[in-house]
Structure 1
Amino acid sequence: NSLTCVWLHVCFFSPLLYVSGQFAIVKQCREKSTGLEFAAKFIKKRQSMASSRGVRREEIEREVDILQQIQHPNIVTLHDVYENRTDVVLILELVSGGELFDFLAQKESLSEEEATQFIKQILEGVNYLHARKIAHFDLKPENIMLLDKNVPLPRIKLIDFGLAHKIEAGVEFKNIFGTPEFVAPEIVNYEPLGLEADMWSIGVITYILLSGASPFLGETKQDTLRNISAINYEFDEEFFCHTSEPAKKFISQLLEKDKKKRLTIQDALNHPWIKVKLYFEPKKRERRQLKTKRLREYTIKSHSSMPPNNTYVNFERFAQVVEDIDQMESSFVSLAAAHDSLQEDIDAMVSIYNEKEAWYKEESEGVRHELSQIRYEFRKVEAFKRSLQDDMQVFSSSLGAVSSRYQERQNHFDALRTELSNELKWVQEVMVLIGNDQQVTGSWPDIYTFKSVFKEATLVSRVI
Structure 2
Amino acid sequence: MEPFKQLKVEDFYDIGEELGSGQFAIVKKCREKSTGLEYAAKFIKKRQSRASRRGVSREEIEREVSILRQVLHPNIITLHDVYEDRTDVVLILELVSGGELFDFLAQKESLSEEEATSFIKQILDGVNYLHTKKIAHFDLKPENIMLLDKNIPIPHIKLIDFGLAHEIEDGVEFKNIFGTPEFVAPEIVNYEPLGLEADMWSIGVITYILLSGASPFLGDTKQETLANITAVSYDFDEEFFSQTSELAKDFIRKLLVKETRKRLTIQEALRHPWITSEGEVRAPEQQKTEPTQLKTKHLREYTLKCHSSMPPNNTYVNFERFARVVEDVALVDQGCRALAGAHDTVQDDVEALVSIYNEKEAWYREENERARHDLSQLKYEFRKMESMKKLLREDIQATGASLGGVARKLDHLQTQFEALRQELSADLQWIQELVGSFQLESGSSDGPGSAFRQDPSESLSELLNRLCTEEVLAGWNI
TM-score, normalised on structure 1? 0.69
* Segment drifting more, 190-199 vs 3-12: 3-12
Identify the residue that residue 256 of structure 2 maps to in structure 1.
255
Please tell me whether residue 47 in structure 1 is matched to residue 48 in structure 2: yes
Cα distance in 1, alignment partners of residues 339 and 54 from structure 2: 34
Cα distance in 2, alignment partners of residues 6 and 25 from structure 1: 16
Structure of greater relative contact order (alpha carbons < 8 Å, 6+ residues apart)? 2
Q: Is the 8 A contact 2:4 2:84 kept in 1?
A: no
Cα distance in 1, alignment partners of residues 11 and 311 from structure 2: 37
Identify the residue that residue 431 of structure 1 maps to in structure 2.
none
Identify the residue that residue 179 of structure 2 maps to in structure 1.
178
Identify the residue that residue 452 of structure 1 maps to in structure 2.
none
Alpha-carbon offset, residue 71 of structure 1: 0.2
Distance 1:167 1:30, change over 3 A: same
Alpha-carbon offset, residue 139 of structure 1: 0.3
Q: Deviations over 1:121-163 (max 9, x none)?
A: 0000000000000000000000000011111111000000011
Identify the residue that residue 392 of structure 1 maps to in structure 2.
none
1:152 alignment partner, SS class:
coil
Cα distance in 2, alignment partners of residues 84 and 320 from structure 1: 31
Q: Is the 8 A contact 1:179 1:310 kept in 2?
A: no
Alpha-carbon offset, residue 22 of structure 1: 1.5
Q: Alpha carbon RMSD of aligned pairs, Å?
A: 2.8
Which of the pair has more CA radius of gyration? 2
Cα distance in 2, alignment partners of residues 251 and 111 from structure 1: 17
Alpha-carbon offset, residue 317 of structure 1: 2.0
Identify the residue that residue 15 of structure 2 maps to in structure 1.
13
Distance 1:310 1:214, change over 3 A: farther
Amino acid at match of 1:322: V
Q: Deviations over 1:397-446 (max 9, x none)?
A: xxxxxxxxxxxxxxxxxxxxxxxxxxxxxxxxxxxxxxxxxxxxxxxxxx
Identify the residue that residue 85 of structure 2 maps to in structure 1.
84
Amino acid at match of 1:18: L
Identify the residue that residue 189 of structure 2 maps to in structure 1.
188
Q: Is the 8 A contact 2:163 2:315 kept in 1?
A: no
Distance 1:51 1:200, change over 3 A: same
Amino acid at match of 2:275: I
Q: Deviations over 1:215-234 (max 9, x none)?
A: 00000000000000001000
Q: Which runs of 5+ in 2 are unaligned?
A: 355-478
Alpha-carbon offset, residue 314 of structure 1: 5.1
Identify the residue that residue 373 of structure 2 maps to in structure 1.
none
Cα distance in 2, alignment partners of residues 132 and 256 from structure 1: 24
Amino acid at match of 2:42: K
Alpha-carbon offset, residue 44 of structure 1: 1.0
Cα distance in 2, alignment partners of residues 215 and 265 from structure 1: 21
Q: Is the 8 A contact 2:137 2:164 kept in 1?
A: yes
Please tell me whether residue 140 in structure 1 is matched to residue 148 in structure 2: no
2:253 alignment partner, SS class:
helix
Cα distance in 2, alignment partners of residues 78 and 66 from structure 1: 10
TM-score, normalised on structure 2? 0.67
Cα distance in 2, alignment partners of residues 199 and 334 from structure 1: 35
2:182 alignment partner, SS class:
coil
Q: Is the 8 A contact 2:24 2:316 kept in 1?
A: no
Cα distance in 1, alignment partners of residues 95 and 194 from structure 2: 31
Cα distance in 1, alignment partners of residues 73 and 208 from structure 2: 26
Alpha-carbon offset, residue 330 of structure 1: 3.1
Please tell me whether residue 299 in structure 1 is matched to residue 297 in structure 2: no
2:139 alignment partner, SS class:
coil
Q: What are the equivalent positions in structure 2 for 1:394-413 lying under 5 Å apart?
A: none
Distance 1:335 1:309, change over 3 A: farther
Amino acid at match of 1:120: K
Distance 1:312 1:48, change over 3 A: closer
Alpha-carbon offset, residue 87 of structure 1: 1.0
Cα distance in 2, alignment partners of residues 12 and 141 from structure 1: 29
Q: Is the 8 A contact 2:136 2:166 kept in 1?
A: yes
Amino acid at match of 1:31: E
Identify the residue that residue 94 of structure 2 maps to in structure 1.
93
Identify the residue that residue 321 of structure 1 maps to in structure 2.
325
Identify the residue that residue 223 of structure 2 maps to in structure 1.
222
Q: Is the 8 A contact 1:302 1:308 kept in 2?
A: no
Cα distance in 2, alignment partners of residues 263 and 328 from structure 1: 35
Q: How many residues align?
A: 343
Cα distance in 2, alignment partners of residues 65 and 35 from structure 1: 26
Identify the residue that residue 27 of structure 2 maps to in structure 1.
26
Identify the residue that residue 69 of structure 1 maps to in structure 2.
70
Please tell me whether residue 102 in structure 1 is matched to residue 103 in structure 2: yes
Amino acid at match of 1:88: V
